[in-house]
A and B are shown apart, each in its own frame.
Chain A
Amino acid sequence: MIRFILRRLLQVIPVFLGTTLLVYFMVFALPGDPIRALFGDRPPSEAVIAALRQQYNLDQPFWVQYGLFLKNLFTFNLGVDFTGQPIAATLGRVFPVTVMLAIEALVIQAVFGIGFGLIAGLRKGKIFDSSVLLASLVVIAIPIFVLGFVLQLIFGVYLGWAKPTVGTDVSWGTLLLPAFALALVSFAYVLRLTRASVIENSTADYVRTATAKGLSRRRVVMAHILRNSMIPVVTYLGASLGGLMGGAIVTEGIFNVPGVGQKLYQAILRSEGPTVVAIVSVLVLVFVIANLLVDLLYAWLDPRIRYEK
């Protein structure tokens, strides 16, 4: 197991380096004056430009620039935004909000996705199964910003069950509606994956053998069918974090949640290139680490992975 962790860590490093290099290269190594280009047609003050030049060490050779960029990233020295505020401090403030939102969404999509997927899979071909399947297609087809607005309109404005916008009042309760909107994106995929995997495992030889041993149906379902079906689902949940981050930008915008996504959205609207790059780099780092954790969970779920040389 320790060997497996070490090997995965070794594999993560080049991926992270490659991804940040890609991001950095695209922004800073292409022809033209990157600082001016980042601001488009809204030239910032000379003071801001000077600060950015310093921040990104643009007078140094490319590899030195990149190395210093990484060092800055790991020491959370992310520079200042348009208004001169340090980005790291802003992120420190908004990050916990997004983490709460993401956890809530992840829990919603996992619980409902796996629950419905299991029931549908065990009742393959029955009415419940077909209707859940069709409903999942519809959910997949509706983009998150549409879902967000629709939920906001129905539950926030018309029914008045929840506050349509979150604002400064951040709590698990107020985040429920945006988390729900966010969860719907991957919920349908989790459901379909669980269902497919339950159907496949239900016909597996070892499930028949488990039944032949005299186990109760409940035990066969929980210990053999569901347990084995979790392996691909957990991997997907890890990958879905990426979609969750993208979705958070939209959701936080719609529901006015003071999180990372909203900051990013505002930076985009204000054409603050450097802020966008800094935040995206941090998010990539989070995504890579989260996937590393999921991989470890995966190895715990599937002993065959640990054994592979």
Chain B
Amino acid sequence: MKSNQDTTHYVAPIEETPLLATDAVKTDQAPLSLWADAWRKLRRRPLFIVSAVMILVILVVAFFPGLFTQVAPNDNCQLANSDGAPSPGHPFGFTFQGCDVYARVIYGTQASVMVGVFAVIGVLIIGVTMGALAGFYGGWVDSVIARLGDIFFALPLVLGALVVTQLPFFRENKSVWTVIMIIVLLAWPQMARLTRGAVIEVRNADFITAARSLGVSRIQSLIKHVLPNALAPIIVLATMELGVFIVLEATLSFLGIGLPGSIMSWGNDISAAQSSIRTNPAVLLYPAAALSITVLSFIMLGDALRDALDPKSRQR
């Protein structure tokens, strides 16, 4: 089989192919942690900058609505202004009840943002704990939590919320907090599932075994090594869910089973605007736009974070 053709022995000029030290450490770049690397990538992404600025503005509006409008949203409702067109000082016009739409949109921010933020915090606490325990310990802990999650999973969010809101307790105590409780109760399994998966992926890594053979206890290795490494997808999902929960609250309020009518919220306003949609669509469109922009900001932020925190994009 061996042929005798082309038996020349070629050697490249050594000056052109110098032999470098084996496996020398690169020292030309500054050290970079995962978070620093993510931050570096985020800073350059327009999607991130736009969404971050928008979220900041929304938060300011939520906490200091008085900065943006002089009109008290409820006091000056005059039926004479019913479905009135925009006028100076009232840029979005008036509702059927004669209330200032702009002021209502501004003051409605708080309820939505509160529901979103606290529901996500609740889901993080319950979901991450359950998921981490299930993924890390496995065995019967995992089976019990997984089955429990399956049961909640089989209950679509809106349908589940429908049933829960029929309960006397929730019906009689309608408030921001009951809505948050309902969302947390129904939405934790998704977070638990994601955390469980992320933890299982990390759990079997050699660095966990190495830590354990150093004498690090199981619970310590979970907190110090496993969770920090599983954090990226959790952060991404939490950001996205913030948007999703705001939509859910609005949907429930729209259906009349969310926030009580006395609380100003975009969902309630959209629901109230239904009747006059043909005559005065602006009453519906402004709160709807505010709602959509808020949700979009969080979803865009989540999307930007997902790209920046993707470990696959991080190999040098």
Chain A residues within CB distance 8 Å of chain B:
14-16, 18-19, 22-23, 26-27, 30, 32, 37-38, 40, 137-138, 140-146, 149-150, 152-153, 157, 241-243, 245-247, 249-250, 253, 264-265, 268-269, 273, 276-277, 280, 283-284, 287-288, 291
In the complex the two chains form, what is the Cα distance from A152 to B284 in whole Å?
13
- A19/B154 contact (C-beta < 8 A), A250-B251, A276-B162 known: yes
In the complex the two chains form, what is the Cα distance from A152 to B158 in whole Å?
22
Residue count of chain B within 8 Å CB distance of chain A: 44
The dominant DSSP class at the A interface is helix
Is A16 touching B251 in the complex (CB atoms < 8 A)? no
Chain B: minimal CB distance from A271 (Å): 8
Supplied contacts A142-B288, A250-B254, 6 more A-B pairs, CB within 8 Å: A40-B171, A138-B296, A143-B295, A146-B270, A245-B158, A288-B154
In the complex the two chains form, what is the Cα distance from A85 to B278 in whole Å?
34
B277 in the interface, Cβ–Cβ < 8 Å? yes
A24, closest chain B residue (CB): B163
Partner of A144, one of B155, B251, B274, B284: B251
Mark contacts of B181-193 with chain A using CB atoms, 8 A cut-off: 1 yes-contact digit, 0 otherwise.
Answer: 0000000000000
Chain A: minimal CB distance from B223 (Å): 31
Max chain A Cβ within 10 angstroms of own Cβ: one of B153, B158, B169, B281 = B158
Chain B residues within CB distance 8 Å of chain A:
147-148, 150-159, 162-164, 166-169, 171, 243, 247, 250-251, 254-257, 270, 274, 277-278, 281, 284-285, 288, 291-293, 295-296, 299-300, 303
Chain B residue numbers with a CB within 8 Å of A16 are: 154
In the complex the two chains form, what is the Cα distance from A268 to B252 in whole Å?
11
Chain A residue numbers with a CB within 8 Å of B153 are: 15
In the complex the two chains form, what is the Cα distance from A153 to B278 in whole Å?
8
In the complex the two chains form, what is the Cα distance from A145 to B248 in whole Å?
11
Chain A residue numbers with a CB within 8 Å of B151 are: 15, 18-19, 22
Chain A residue numbers with a CB within 8 Å of B154 are: 15-16, 18-19, 284, 287-288, 291
Is A18 touching B168 in the complex (CB atoms < 8 A)? no
In the complex the two chains form, what is the Cα distance from A26 to B300 in whole Å?
37
- A30/B169 contact (C-beta < 8 A), A16-B154, A141-B243 known: yes
Is A146 touching B288 in the complex (CB atoms < 8 A)? yes
Chain A residue numbers with a CB within 8 Å of B164 are: 26
Partner of A14, one of B147, B155, B257, B299: B147
Chain B residue numbers with a CB within 8 Å of A145 are: 250-251, 254, 270
In the complex the two chains form, what is the Cα distance from A35 to B256 in whole Å?
21
Is A273 touching B166 in the complex (CB atoms < 8 A)? yes
Jot down 20 A-B pairs with beta carbons below 8 A, ordered by A. Answer: A23-B163, A26-B167, A40-B171, A140-B243, A141-B292, A141-B296, A143-B254, A143-B295, A144-B251, A145-B250, A152-B277, A153-B277, A153-B281, A243-B156, A245-B158, A246-B156, A249-B255, A269-B256, A283-B159, A291-B154
Chain A residue numbers with a CB within 8 Å of B162 are: 249, 264, 268, 276, 280
B172, closest chain A residue (CB): A40
Is B250 touching A265 in the complex (CB atoms < 8 A)? no
Is B166 touching A149 in the complex (CB atoms < 8 A)? no
Max chain A Cβ within 10 angstroms of own Cβ: one of B257, B270, B274, B292 = B292
Is B299 touching A38 in the complex (CB atoms < 8 A)? no
A288, closest chain B residue (CB): B154
Chain B residue numbers with a CB within 8 Å of A27 are: 163, 166-167
Is A242 touching B157 in the complex (CB atoms < 8 A)? yes
Chain A: minimal CB distance from B243 (Å): 7
